[in-house]
Amino acid sequence: MLQICRQNPDVTATVLDLPLVCDVGQEHIRPEPEADRIKFLKGDALTDALPEDFDLVTFKSMLHDWPEREAIRFIKNASRSLVPGGTLLIFERGPIEMAQTEIYYSMIPFLLFVHSFRAPALYVKQLQDLDFQEISVKNVCLDTPFFIVTAKKKNRNSP
Ligand SMILES: C[S@@+](CC[C@H](N)C(=O)[O-])C[C@H]1O[C@@H](n2cnc3c(N)ncnc32)[C@H](O)[C@@H]1O
């Protein structure tokens, strides 16, 4: 969020995470000029009623940690936070083909999660079921394959 706010002076953001993570994040950004544009909200995105009226809600490297049923609940819950026409953005590591991938020592920490990196299809299906529009998937190759799914919440007056 700090990087995004640095590059986009008009952006204000709310980070929702578990209490300890918010404390660490708040401490980290305290000296930065962007600190007053980034609010931290301690909560549970699975079960709490989330604040509303956001133009964009993003999950970055979070949904893969959860079984499909919960991943879907996160998306459903977050979709209520968006204004009509607002964007949901999911940025996740995709599956890694172990047999065809050169494995580096630096990859060890996240190889723990290699079985939970799923393809974007589950998220696309969920967004279709929720009547999101303009659903797109973009593949991004960083240290391993990532993807970005974006979709727009239906406008009240669109067909
Ligand atoms: C793998 S970390 C990713 C952190 C960061 N977005 C990144 O890409 O480096 C997953 C984050 O999701 C948060 N998280 C997990 N379950 C959550 C929940 N139920 N409600 C809110 N945040 C949650 C964790 O505390 C953690 O900060």
pLDDT along the chain (159 residues), means of 10: 97 97 98 98 94 97 95 96 97 87 84 90 97 97 93 86
pLDDT, position 63: 96
Alpha-carbon distance of 133 to 152, in angstroms, equals 5
Looking at the domain assignment, is residue 158 inside a domain?
no
Q: Please check whether residue 114 lies inside any domain of the structure.
A: yes
Task: Give this prediction's pTM.
Answer: 0.93
Is 112 part of a structural domain of the chain?
yes
Query: Can you tell me the distance from the alpha carbon of 109 to that of 105, in angstroms, rounded to the nearest whole number?
Result: 9
What is the reported pLDDT for 98? 78
- The closest of 65, 149, 59, 60 to 115, measured between CA atoms, is 65
Position 74 in a domain: yes
Q: How many domains does the chain have?
A: 1
**According to the model, what pLDDT value does residue 107 have?**
84
If one residue of 15, 17, 77 were mutated to test the ligand 1 pocket, choosing by the most ligand atoms within 8 A of its CB, it would be 17
Residue 101's pLDDT is what? Answer: 77
Q: List, in order, residues 6 or more apart from 58 with CB less than 8 Å away.
A: 88, 89, 90, 91
User: Do the domain assignments include residue 131?
Assistant: yes
User: What pLDDT is attached to residue 7?
Assistant: 98
Residue 144: the pLDDT is 86
Residue 50: CATH number of its domain = 3.40.50.150
Whose alpha carbon is nearest atom 11 of ligand 1?
Answer: 62
SS3 75: helix
CA 128 – ligand 1 centroid, Å? 24
CA of 41 to the centre of ligand 1 (A): 13
Quick one: pLDDT at residue 146? 95
113 CA to middle of ligand 1, Å?
14
CA separation for the pair 129, 87 (Å, rounded): 16
Residues 6+ apart with CB under 8 A from 110: 93, 144
Give the separation between CA 78 and CA 56, rounded to whole angstroms.
10
- Strand pairing of 145-152 and 13-17? unpaired
| Ligand 1 binding pocket, CB closer than 6 Å | 16-18, 21, 44-46, 60-62, 65
pLDDT value of residue 42 = 98
Q: How far apart are CA 8 and CA 76, in angstroms?
A: 28
Q: Give the distance (Å) from ligand 1 centre to CA of residue 53.
A: 21
Query: Does any domain span residue 89?
Result: yes
Residue 130 lies in a domain: yes
What range defines the domain where residue 138 resides? 44-152
90 C-alpha to center of ligand 1: Å? Answer: 13
19 belongs to a structural domain:
no
